Structure 1
């Protein structure tokens, strides 16, 4: 009698036990229970070092090639696996969350200037390059704060409105700090104090001071529209004797042509024009009470506190005095400055 056939057992594939997370030794070593008052915050999960991750990738690639000999003719497979394991250049050390944040030096800051107010800003007649105090100070501010100043030329009578409406980030141009202007724009800390003086022709002998000019009933004074000089001139001699012009260049030309008897101007600006017309113009002695000049910004601009800190540092280390000495020296003659 034949013994009954016992069905052969089917070969079963061994399955690996499920992977278990290996606890971080730093996380569990000496850890207190959650209810313990001395409980410490959990340690960050351990991360395989970069070299170990590369070693694991290499081991896996070699294992696959030994188990499946038919793949040995594809040596590029291993290279591909290794390439997949390699991190992108710079990715290992890049801080999280900063990938989309541009560096500070990439900022462009629009800087409004008139390009017609010697020596603050002007276009040289010989090279056609823009120069002046505003350009030197803006370059230094950009170097310290990591931005690139981008200059935009605009007429004076539109400058404050352009800043107030956010067309520019800030403006220079030697703007006097006043309460009226501070209602529509924000000012930086004052970077300079100036006096307002009378600029006259060098051959002028009818008056020698503000007082004697005011007493000369027929004498007319010119001032720029929208400027504090215009307001001061009206208070000095009355509106009937004040003539308004759009730009300082027009004022200087009218004075030289004898269409005006004097121009009321900030002393530093007046020195610049005297430098370019030393044989034709002069400043009378004495001046009106000093006024502070400042940069202007749109209301609540985040750039304002940065500029104030940089100006304070420039004042402390002598940089501001050096730039002032270059452009506002009494006998300074700005090379290439326009005649008017």
Structure 2
């Protein structure tokens, strides 16, 4: 009797420990839940043109917005965009306040430890912009020239990592934002601007013919859609639909709209 009682107590204790430790895997119901409620909630920083930002009427628009809406349409659900503080957006995702992060999210090893990513849909380069009339056609031509960039940006990091280029420059002017740098370029106060391609092509597309982008760049970073690690079915579905959007030319049209060029990662 004592042996039976002892066995029963061990069994109960083992079950309790397994439950507490979460050893029983939770079902991946993310995709079915989204389709059932007919809503996909996307978290974003709504102040990141051209990826996601508010227009003059207050509506959230942008390249990633159009991409996400197209995925939602093909999934048969409404896409709701939920502005979230960027430094806490991964926590919001893992707390299930949002279903995905779609907002120029760079794929990094650190983030891979916290969340899952879709396949790369866009590569963001650090590009060099000059005026259309400029004789500068390569990085070598920037010797003894004045270059502008946004302070604390990836562009600043990319330039400082290229000692050969940075040491050849006459001066590096740092601005609080890229708009100020481009205004100085337009006014001939600087010779070139180093900037994220997604930002630079958006602004130059607003004034076609005024600027040109050099063929050379200062580095590449990959963008992906962020989802919870447990949500494998949702990740697979978004990968599939992004693939369709690329192959049928829809992604190209969206890219042309915002950047004046197809910069979608193939």
TM-score (normalised: structure 1): 0.52
Q: Which of residues 28, 43, 63 is equivalent to 1:133?
A: 63
Where do 1:324-339 residues align within 5 Å?
Answer: 324-330=255-261
User: 1:134 is paired with a residue of what secondary structure?
Assistant: helix
Q: Structure 2 vs 1, CA of residues 205 and 157 (structure 1 numbering), >3 Å: closer, same or farther?
A: farther
Q: Structure 2 vs 1, CA of residues 244 and 196 (structure 1 numbering), >3 Å: closer, same or farther?
A: same
User: 1:309 is paired with a residue of what secondary structure?
Assistant: helix
- The unaligned stretches of length 5 or more in structure 2 are 1-31
- How far 1:197 sits from its partner (Å)? 0.1
Give the alignment's Cα RMSD to 1 decimal: 3.8
User: 1:184 is paired with a residue of what secondary structure?
Assistant: coil
Map of 2:225 onto structure 1: 295
- How far 1:187 sits from its partner (Å)? 1.3
Where do 1:233-312 residues align within 5 Å?
Answer: 233-236=159-162, 243=174, 250-256=177-183, 263-278=193-208, 282-302=212-232, 303-312=234-243
- How far 1:161 sits from its partner (Å)? 5.6
- How far 1:182 sits from its partner (Å)? 1.9
Does residue 209 (structure 1) correspond to residue 138 (structure 2)? The answer is yes
Does residue 222 (structure 1) correspond to residue 150 (structure 2)? The answer is yes
- How far 1:272 sits from its partner (Å)? 0.8
Where do 1:68-217 residues align within 5 Å?
Answer: 104-125=35-56, 127-154=57-84, 156-160=86-90, 162-163=92-93, 166-200=96-130, 202=131, 208-213=137-142, 215-216=143-144
- The unaligned stretches of length 5 or more in structure 1 are 1-100, 332-340
Higher helix share: 2
- How far 1:307 sits from its partner (Å)? 0.9
Q: Are 2:150 and 2:178, in contact at CA under 8 Å, matched by a contact in 1?
A: yes
Q: Structure 2 vs 1, CA of residues 264 and 187 (structure 1 numbering), >3 Å: closer, same or farther?
A: farther
- How far 1:273 sits from its partner (Å)? 0.7
Q: Structure 2 vs 1, CA of residues 230 and 159 (structure 1 numbering), >3 Å: closer, same or farther?
A: farther
Paired residue total: 222
User: 1:287 is paired with a residue of what secondary structure?
Assistant: strand
- How far 1:165 sits from its partner (Å)? 5.6
Higher strand share: 2
Q: Structure 2 vs 1, CA of residues 326 and 103 (structure 1 numbering), >3 Å: closer, same or farther?
A: closer
- How far 1:150 sits from its partner (Å)? 1.3
Rounded Cα–Cα distance in structure 1 between residues aligned with 2:88 and 2:192: 25
Q: Which has the larger radius of gyration?
A: 1
Map of 2:22 onto structure 1: none
Rounded Cα–Cα distance in structure 1 between residues aligned with 2:159 and 2:73: 39
| More displaced 10-residue stretch of structure 1: 253-262 or 151-160 | 253-262
Rounded Cα–Cα distance in structure 2 between residues aligned with 1:138 and 1:113: 11
TM-score (normalised: structure 2): 0.64
- How far 1:148 sits from its partner (Å)? 2.1
Rounded Cα–Cα distance in structure 2 between residues aligned with 1:122 and 1:167: 20
Rounded Cα–Cα distance in structure 2 between residues aligned with 1:171 and 1:189: 13
User: 2:105 is paired with a residue of what secondary structure?
Assistant: strand
